[in-house]
Amino acid sequence: MKKVLFLAAVAAAFTTSCTSVNRTMREPNTHVELVKSDFTYSDQVSAEASSTKILGIDFERILKAEGGSTQGGGNVNIASIPVIGNMVADRTANYALYNLMVANPGYDVVFYPQYETKVVKPILGIGLLTKITKVKTTARLARINANGSSVSTAKAQK
C-alpha cells in the first residue's frame, strides 16, 4: 500500500508542473547616424506631475498604469518615451514626462529634459509616513523628418 501511494505521489509530481516559456529576439547591432537637420524641434514645453506616498505607497496610482520612458509602439506609456540627455530614475519625473508627451502629441523624442523637484515631508520632516513630490519638467521635443534626405546627404559628404 505504501509503495502504491509512493508511486502515485511520484507520478503526480511528474505530471503536475509549472511551465515557463520565454521567447526573445536579439536586437540587431545597427548604428544610425542622425544629424540636427533630421529633426523638427519644438519650443521649450513643460508639464507637471505630483505624487503623494503614504507609508511608501502611492495609492493614487496603485491600480493605474501610467507614466513615461523607452520601448516602442504607438501608445505613450512609461516605457516608450526616448529621452536623450539623461536617465530618468524618479517615478514622479516619469509621470511628468508622460504628461509632457500626452499634452504634445506627434513628437518622437525628448531632448535634454530639465526637472524642478519639490519634496514635502509634512509629518516631522520624516518621509517614511507621508511624502509629497511635485515635479515640473521642461524640455524640447522633436519629431524625426520623414524624408530622410539629410541622412543620405550627410553620408554622401563623408
pLDDT score, position 136? 92
C-alpha grid cell, residue 136: 515640473
Cα angle for residues 75, 80, 86 (degrees, 5° grid): 150
How much is the average pLDDT of 130-152?
79
Q: How many CB atoms are closer than 10 A to CB 49?
A: 22
Length of the chain as a residue count: 158
C-alpha grid cell, residue 20: 515557463
pLDDT in tens, 76-97: 444 445 565 555 566 888 888 8
Domain borders along the chain are 38-145
Instruction: Indicate the pTM of the whole model.
Output: 0.59
Residue 77: alpha-carbon gap to chain centroid:
6
pLDDT band per the 50, 70, 90 thresholds, residue 47: very high
* Ranges of H-type helices in 16-158: 91-103, 149-157
